[in-house]
Structure 1
Amino acid sequence: MSLNNADDYNDDLDLAVDGETIELQVPNDLAGKRLDAALAQLLPDYSRSRIAAWIKDGLVSVNGVAAQPKHKLIGSEKVSVTITPSVETAAFTPEAMDLDVVYEDDTVIVINKPAGLVVHPAAGNWNGTLLNGLLHRNPELSQVPRAGIVHRLDKDTSGLMVVAKTLPAQNNLVQQLQARTVKRIYRAVCNGIVPFDGKIDTLIGRDPHNRLKMAVVKFGGKQAITHIKVLERYLAHSYIECALETGRTHQIRVHMREAGHPLAADPVYGNVRHACSDTVKEVVKNLHRQALHAYRLSFIHPKTGETVSFEAPMAPDMYHLLSVLRLEAGLDSSLQHEAGYSDEHFHDGDDDDWDDDDDVEVIYVRE
């Protein structure tokens, strides 16, 4: 595409496609401007960050020579710009991947997400996400916001998620999350011997010392309540079930750390110096993720109105850890608590940002 001035370019901007090279001449009234600032005026339909990325990647030349963002223009130069997709555009590109579909009908999909899979594209993970895989498997999801995703799991948490296949179903599930009729039960391995079943009730907000982490705070956070049931106790670890009455970012991980029992192998909130046998240390080290699994998911089916419930077998890496812990503790190697436990409490799927403040003592009481 060849354009002689900014006005001509604006008229034909929608003709530019990814991979096409735009040729334009710098108007004299932009003399003295930096290249990046001038292009922001000449290409108003593209973000400054995207233009800056093109310049950095050598996709912009002035009079045939690759230029730097600070290059000062004198007017009348010939500028070539090669249009490439933004990372945001690439984020919604279908990608083939194996998805463990537990259940599917014309309204919803229930997926058992493996650890290591990012749910939704974001900075640092613009592709290879669950969203990309869903768009490949079910192209019709391109017509549903966020490809039907209504709640998230941390990248390194395994387990069940529900995805809506239609806009009405998505709206219904979002309303259920807000009304707390979606129930999610997690299972985890934590450090130490959890003494009794109970409840942790605190405020959770951004860690005032590290904005990338969450923490228990005295003021400014939001109430977070986790109900804990001990399933098994080992020599230096416990197998627990967590039911969330609220759903804050990293809630289980933060609460268990504050209770003095961080999740095994948690890279953010864990304790790598936790005392245990060399055998268990090696297994925990090889887990490469927090020992947390979304085990049970229940919700009201958006179309039938019936309550449906699903369970996902423990992820193989966590199952191996449990087997080693049971063997060392002299327990029956079978999973004694994989069925029959009542899911009285639930998770609301809320995932907001919080204000910061100082940590306070965790309230951990018997129920």
Structure 2
Amino acid sequence: MDFTITLPKNQKTMTIRDLFEKEWLVPRKVRHFLRTRKDVQLNGTVAMFHQEVQAGDTISLHLEESDYTFQEVVFGDASLVDVLYEDEHLIVVNKPYGIKTHPNQPDEDDTMFNHLAAYLNDRPYVVHRLDKETSGALLFAKNPFVLPILGRLLEEKQIYRRYQAIVHGRLTKDQTIRQKIGRDRHDRRKRVVDPKNGQMAITHVTVEKINERTTNITCVLETGRTHQIRVHLAHLGFPIVGDPLYQNKPAKRLMLHASEMHLVHPFTKEKMIFTAKPSLW
């Protein structure tokens, strides 16, 4: 794997060692390999890790396959991949409802992960997940080098995600739901509001349109708990239309869609916005 990265205009002056360790989160083992093999160049010349870099500098590096641990991947169907954005480091796809994000068993071949592997002819790396029943914008890393940076952006809430939903009932006002979520002791598939043992979860809800028996809403997450939006809205008394776990009225699909994603590119620092269509309304 060979990468050439031009440092952005807002890059702070620092040593290559600090850039790799603190900003790019390169694992210690991989930093050691890069240093001992002299596989890093600064502006076309073999670099030492104590050298300083600044805005506009170009860093080239070579990674061996053996620098990272890989697992076998089963290829799926590349035709099911709808790309919203792609470059050499990351890819955002529009996941259809009814497809899982990633396999739970080694021989599975019908998840978004498998289909993307077939599209890329290579292994993708999961950054976050969407429920099987949820559609919309889904981010993957295309190489292990960028994966920890995207993971940190997600952890530090620097990847903004907006969801569309249609709920049963007439929800009349915007609100922020702050309720801890934990596992359902009686059904391992489900989560419940659990004030005592759950993890804090925060969902911001905006009312978009009140219909006769349903309400169109948008949701923004501050946390990323499993089934968070579904559990919060069901607990509030406004379950999502078509939810197979948290309400019992049949519908053709779960009416929850990850409609928009914002992030700052890990290397170019460009602000990026991705919209997954079609919308639910």
Q: Do the two structures share a fold, i.e. TM-score over 0.5?
A: yes
Aligned CA distance change for structure 1 residues 124 and 163 (closer, same or farther; 3 Å):
closer
2:173 to 184, 196, 214: 196
Q: Which of the two has greater helix per residue? A: 1
CA distance in 2, matches of 1:92, 1:104: 20
Task: Select which of 211, 217, 236 maps to 2:188.
Answer: 211
Residue aligned with 2:200, SS: strand
Of stretches 218-227 and 164-173 in structure 1, the one that deviates more from structure 2 is 164-173
2 CA distance for matches of 1:107 and 1:237? 41
Task: Look up the equivalent residue of 1:167 and give its one-letter code.
Answer: P
Q: 1:148 aligns with which of 107, 119, 125?
A: 125
SS in 2 for 1:135: helix
Distance (whole Å) between structure 2 residues aligned to residue 240 and residue 195 of structure 1: 10
What is the rounded CA distance, in whole Å, between the counterparts of 2:104 and 2:144 in structure 1?
Answer: 22
Deviation at 1:208, TM superposition (A): 2.3
- Aligned with 1:126 (options 83, 86, 108): 108
2:76 maps to which of 95, 99, 114 = 95
1:251 maps to 228
Matched, 1:305 2:274: no
Corresponding residue for residue 60 of structure 2: none
Mapped to 1, the partners of 2:153 and 2:208 lie a distance apart of: 29
2-side partners of 1:257 and 1:123: how far apart?
30
2:234 matches 1:270:
no
Deviations 1:167-202 (A, max 9, x none): 222111001011110000000000000020011111
Which AA in structure 2 matches 1:107? H
1-structure distance, mates of 2:200, 2:178: 7
Segments of structure 2 that go 5 or more residues without pairing to the other structure are: 1-70
- Residue identity in the other structure for 2:158: T
Give yes or no for the alignment of 1:116 onto 2:93: no
Aligned-residue sequence identity (percent) comes to 38
Change in Cα spacing, 1:148 to 1:102, as seen in structure 2 (3 Å) is same
1:185 counterpart (156, 159, 162):
162
Secondary structure class of the residue paired with 1:256: helix
Shift of 1:124: 10
Q: CA deviation at 1:231?
A: 0.2
- Match of 2:91, SS state, is strand
Please list every run of 5 or more consecutive structure 1 residues that lacks an aligned counterpart in the other structure: 1-88, 273-283, 320-367
Instruction: Give the aligned length.
Output: 210
Aligned to 1:314: 278
Residues 1:238 and 2:222 aligned together: no
Per the alignment, residue 204 of structure 2 pairs with: 227
The answer to whether the 8 A contact 1:107-1:303 is kept is no
Q: Following the alignment from structure 2 to structure 1, what is the Cα–Cα distance between the partners of residues 89 and 106?
A: 31
Cα distance, 1:261–1:124 mapped onto 2, change above 3 Å: farther
Q: Is the 8 A contact 2:181 2:200 kept in 1?
A: yes
Within 2, Cα distance between the matches of 1:300 and 1:227? 22
Contact 2:172 2:210 in 1 (8 A): no
Structure 2 residue aligned with 1:54: none
The 1-side partners of 2:107 and 2:190 are apart by 18
Deviations 1:258-306 (A, max 9, x none): 000000010100231xxxxxxxxxxx62x2x210000000111112012
Shift of 1:214: 0.1
Which has the larger displacement, 148-157 or 306-315?
306-315
8 Å CA contact 2:85, 2:93 repeated in 1: yes
The question of 1:160 aligning with 2:142 is answered no
CA distance in structure 2 between the aligned counterparts of 1:125 and 1:114, rounded to whole angstroms: 21
Larger Rg computed on CA atoms? 1
